[in-house]
Amino acid sequence: MNILIFGPPGSGKSTHSRTIVERYGLTYISSGDMIRAEISAGTELGREMARYIERGDLIPDTVVNTLIISRLRRHRRNFIIDGYPRTAEQVLALENYLYDHGLSIDVALEIFISKEESIERISGRRICPRCGAVYHLKYRPPKVPGKCDVCGADLIQRDDDRPEIVARRYDLYIKNMEPIIKFYRKQGVYVRVDGHDSIEGVWERIRPLLDYISARESPSRERP
């Protein structure tokens, strides 16, 4: 089963991707994780990508395509790609790769939330720079304001979590995803799920679809 999962900032796609990976045994490929790894490593490419992110701009297609396709070459089947493709050029690169290797996408799953919801979810996030613990001022506040429950370090707000940057990222997402959604809708694999609910509530909208696809591909494999 090969899945694309996407959604506006704060839609929960990464959270649900982890559940999908565990339940269906897929390889998780995240453009965001790969980009952050480059930035954390302090490479020249990472520093260049960080400048785009700080402005709320998209990283050039050639860079992102190279990261994703190189990972797909190592894991050709049964994958979920989180946050890619994001532009028409990225769709072309991905579809060309899939066609060349006799592969296809089973479902392009969008978890959709409003702009207001996106800003609230993302701008309230705080991260511990020492141990990596994640908090939210509304949904998961630290016991002591501004301090990590785990190690006591001062919490920070990432530059790309600021409200004005989140709003810009949301607008870019809507603009760039419109032709991509049209493409996958025409392919008959696009599904939109309402993300305005609890994690459990959204998952119960996603699970039946993926169970059906998984059972269709492996009729003898049972799911709990």
Q: What pLDDT is stored for residue 190 in this prediction?
A: 97
pLDDT value at 219 more than 50: no
Burial degree of 97 (CB within 10 A; 0-12, 13-18, 19+): middle
Q: Reduced to 3 states, what is the DSSP secondary structure of residue 48?
A: helix
Q: How far is CA 130 from CA 105, 127, 133, 143, in A?
A: 38, 9, 8, 17
**Using one digit for the tens of pLDDT, what is the confidence trace for 21-44?**
999 999 999 988 888 888 889 888
User: For residue 48, what pLDDT is reported?
Assistant: 86
Angle of the 163-187 helix axis to the 115-123 helix axis, nearest 10: 130
pLDDT tens-place string over residues 89-113: 999 999 999 999 999 999 999 999 9
pTM above 0.75, yes or no: yes
Is the four-CA dihedral 124, 170, 116, 207 of positive or negative sign? negative
Provide the pLDDT for residue 221: 38
CA distance 24 to 45: 33
Q: Domain residues of the chain, as ranges?
A: 3-114+174-217
Using 50, 70 and 90 to split pLDDT, how confident is the model at 224? very low
Percent of the chain exceeding pLDDT 90 equals 67
Share of the chain above pLDDT 70, in %: 97
- Paired sense of beta strands 125-127 and 134-136, if any: antiparallel
The more confident residue out of 42 and 218 is 42
Average pLDDT, the chain: 90
What is the mean predicted confidence (pLDDT) over 121-145? 92
pLDDT band at 144; cut points 50, 70, 90: very high
Omega before 145 within 30 of 0, i.e. cis: no
Give the number of other CB atoms < 10 A from CB of residue 105: 19
Rounded to 5°, angle at Cα 106 from 62 and 171? 50
Write down the pLDDT at residue 218: 63
Domain 3-114+174-217, CATH number (from 1.10.3720.10, 3.30.360.10, 3.20.20.70, 3.40.50.300): 3.40.50.300
List the catalytic residues.
13, 86, 125, 158, 169
What integer is the mean pLDDT of 203-222?
A: 81
* pLDDT (tens digit per residue) in 43-85: 888 888 888 888 777 788 988 998 899 889 887 789 999 989 9
Report, as an integer, the average pLDDT of 171-176.
91
Q: Name the nearest CA neighbour of 95 among 30, 183, 35.
A: 183
